[in-house]
Amino acid sequence: MPEFDLGKSHQAEYRLANMSDIAKPCGIYLAIVPRDRKIVNNTKEFDGFLQFDLVNSKGVSVTSVSGRLGDYWWAQGGNCELYQLDKSFFSPVPAEKYLLRITYSPDSKLEGMRGFVYLRCGGSK
């Protein structure tokens, strides 16, 4: 999904369809691209807000995640990836169509950084 400025509020909707069921959960993440590719430190201090809402074609909630950025789990690789351990994941139904809504409120510590929402499926059980 497209990058956006983490120094500004952001709302977006994405339509998802034809997702494969690979018998592993699919996670919804916010990736933060650090300035100069440096990893963000002291992530628990971030005060911005992030909400993901995923609904199916009938409007039924599949998963809903919200909270202060510092309360999310932060995985670090090339980017910092935010998720909630028990709530950011779902099992796709191949014939289903989904609507993913994102609401983001910034923390001034992230000004000048870019971010993007993405889905990742797989891993080990």
> What would the pLDDT profile of 52-74 be if each residue is shown by its tens digit?
999 999 999 999 999 999 999 98
64-103: per-residue pLDDT in tens?
A: 999 999 999 988 766 788 999 889 999 999 999 999 999 9
Q: Tell whether the model's pLDDT for residue 33 goes beyond 70.
A: yes
Q: Look at domain 4-34+48-121 and name its CATH class.
A: mainly beta
pLDDT of amino acid 121: 84
H/E/C letters for each residue in 95-116?
A: CCEEEEEEEEECCHHHCCCEEE
Spatial neighbors of 50 by CB under 8 A, at least 6 apart, are: 30, 65, 66, 67, 69, 72, 82, 102, 103, 104, 105
pTM (predicted TM-score): 0.88
